[in-house]
Structure 1
Amino acid sequence: ILGSEILDENRQFKFIKGPIFSNIILADEINRTPPKTQAALLEAMQERSVTIAGENYKLALPYFVLATQNPIEQEGTYPLPEAQLDRFMFAIKLDYPSFEEEVQVVKRTTSDLNPSINPLFTAQEIIDFQHLIRRIPVADNVIEYAVTLVSKTRPDNELSNEFVKNYLDWGAGPRASQNLILAAKANAAFNGKFSPDIEDVKAVATGILRHRIIKNYKADAEGITEEMIIDKLI
């Protein structure tokens, strides 16, 4: 997915860019790819660059990585390690579509209709929106609430309670705090606010934290889900 070096007709090495050099990457069923392929995304997602044969290539902005994991048929799969999951801002659970949604899916995919696609934004407009979100001010008490919420997920932290100590092996790291604030800013902007409040942090907490906390065997045995733990903390 990174690309490869080939020997061209002039006997010169030439780098052919792989699919990772795009604005939007969709890694379909990423848990079916071997760890080597998964690891190829690490530098790209964190540094927005790729290093191959000692040369660093910057990736074009904006840059998004989306990945899907199939919850069934887990044999022969490679679950993403925690350090890689942490690089994804959100974990979103998709259930079956509603009846009306499924009717629309069937209508659109069983006909000979060839829909036209009209771009809504330019790349630069998306980058401008991203900078705008980052410029939204946040009160100290909101940042402190986000950091406190993340700290409570860590079983060895003095802020954690007995519920967390009983059911979690590992809590969320600093990226969770950063992403809580970024997502809260975006949520506030979507709702017409000039600055996020604690309710905006709560609104995005489940998607930010569910893939960053690690349950223990006791939680699995008692049917405790990540969502239940996060709700309890909120």
Structure 2
Amino acid sequence: MDAVAQEAVWAAGRLKTNLESCILGKSSEIELLLTALLSGGHVLLEDVPGTGKTVLVKALAKSVNGQFRRIQCNPDLLPTDITGVSIYHPKQESFVFRPGPVMTNLLLVDEINRATTKTQSALLEAMEERSISADGENYPLPSPFLLIATQNPIDFEGTYPLPEAQLDRFLMKLRLGYPDHETEKQMLRDQAEQHPVERLAPVMDIEGLLALQQAVRQVHIDEAVSDYLVTIVQETRRHRSLALGASPRATLGLLAASKSLALLRGRDYVIPDDIKYLTPYVLSHRLLLQTDARLDGQTAESVLEQLLQGIRVPIRLEK
């Protein structure tokens, strides 16, 4: 591993340690969130209220010293509340564009599935193109731009399912879950006087984050491992339990995430275990089950587990 890659590994490690200092018992989830961040991909956090989703995103924003904005979704939210709106300026005798909260580095869209589908669709261009259109003009978003959306389980009151096109634009779908007994006791002690997030200090700046994202692109993946990745995605399109398989966007996302995870784990090359570990998080929300598969109690995760068991894992010697 060269000096540039080694420095990137150290920087990623400092970022992970910083988040773990205030988000207890969620080391794996933090690693996955950082994997998405280094990949430049968006994240969907699905869980019941109060499990620390918003706190995690705030801690990430403080750690990288980036611009942070939050949108609280509800049925009255309009698309212009996200993208911005042109307002007439009497002195200038012209319309002036006032950008919305989407103009930021880290955007938290809280309870995204409480917004109507029309408002949800306003996020599509921002997520894919890193720009927005308003009044015939195109406005680029800051770089980097990461959207982290939280959603309540779809059977909760007042929720609207996200359309397949929007789900496909999320690199990963994660769940935090409840803390265990000891972790919850530690939370009580840590927050007795002040929330740990308020004491959190940045460990890098935006330029450092962009350098990390660039280092991820240099992570090596050999042909056999790349073929293994593509085979997994293509098998989702042929599986009898799936009505809709993963898209080519998913293939690119799984590659980027595998490279990021390799760097976070101290390597400058991808191994098959990186791909296997990330497959449920990157692919499950993009799949659509056949009706009979749903009636049989299957889930996207269980189908992926069966699929992975049937694909030969390439043997690769470490560099």
Task: Flag whether TM exceeds 0.5 (same fold).
Answer: yes
Q: 1:175 aligns with which of 240, 249, 253?
A: 249
* Map of 2:161 onto structure 1: 79
Please tell me whether the aligned partners of residues 257 and 278 of structure 2 are also in contact (alpha carbons under 8 angstroms). Answer: yes
Measured in 1, the distance between the counterparts of 2:293 and 2:177 equals 22
TM-score (norm 1): 0.90
* Map of 1:113 onto structure 2: 194
Measured in 2, the distance between the counterparts of 1:150 and 1:64 equals 24
1:208 and 2:290 matched? no
1:226 and 2:267 matched? no
Q: 1:33 aligns with which of 108, 115, 119?
A: 115
Q: 1:6 aligns with which of 64, 87, 103?
A: 87
Query: SS in structure 2 opposite 1:232?
Result: helix
1:64 and 2:138 matched? no
Return 5+ residue gaps in structure 2 as ranges: 1-81, 309-319
21-30 or 98-107, larger mean C-alpha shift? 98-107
Return 5+ residue gaps in structure 1 as ranges: 155-159
Q: CA deviation at 1:76?
A: 3.4
Deviations, residues 107-140 of structure 1 (Å, cap 9, x unaligned): 455x442533311210111111101101212111
Query: SS in structure 2 opposite 1:177?
Result: helix
Query: SS in structure 1 opposite 2:194?
Result: coil
Q: CA deviation at 1:200?
A: 1.3
Count of residues in Structure 1 that have an aligned counterpart in Structure 2: 224
1:217 and 2:291 matched? yes
Query: SS in structure 2 opposite 1:68?
Result: strand
* Map of 2:215 onto structure 1: 132
Deviations, residues 177-198 of structure 1 (Å, cap 9, x unaligned): 1111111111211222221021
1:17 and 2:99 matched? yes
Q: CA deviation at 1:106?
A: 3.8
Query: SS in structure 1 opposite 2:174?
Result: coil
* Map of 2:183 onto structure 1: 101
Measured in 2, the distance between the counterparts of 1:147 and 1:71 equals 30
Deviations, residues 35-85 of structure 1 (Å, cap 9, x unaligned): 121111111111111111111111111110011111164343221111111
Query: SS in structure 1 opposite 2:151?
Result: coil
Q: Which has the higher helix share?
A: 2
Change (3 A) 1:50 1:72: closer
Measured in 1, the distance between the counterparts of 2:187 and 2:107 equals 23
Query: SS in structure 2 opposite 1:172?
Result: coil
* Map of 1:157 onto structure 2: none
Q: Which has the higher contact order (CA 8 A, sep 6+)?
A: 2
Query: SS in structure 2 opposite 1:119?
Result: coil
Measured in 2, the distance between the counterparts of 1:140 and 1:35 equals 41
135-144 or 203-212, larger mean C-alpha shift? 135-144
Measured in 2, the distance between the counterparts of 1:72 and 1:83 equals 17
TM-score (norm 2): 0.67
Which amino acid counterpart does residue 80 of structure 1 have in structure 2?
Answer: L
Q: CA deviation at 1:87?
A: 0.7
1:191 and 2:265 matched? yes
Query: SS in structure 1 opposite 2:177?
Result: coil
Change (3 A) 1:105 1:33: farther
90-99 or 20-29, larger mean C-alpha shift? 90-99
Please give the root-mean-square deviation of Cα atoms over the aligned residues, in Å.
1.6
Measured in 1, the distance between the counterparts of 2:115 and 2:234 equals 32
Measured in 2, the distance between the counterparts of 1:9 and 1:100 equals 60
Q: 2:172 aligns with which of 90, 107, 111?
A: 90
Please tell me whether the aligned partners of residues 154 and 161 of structure 2 are also in contact (alpha carbons under 8 angstroms). Answer: no
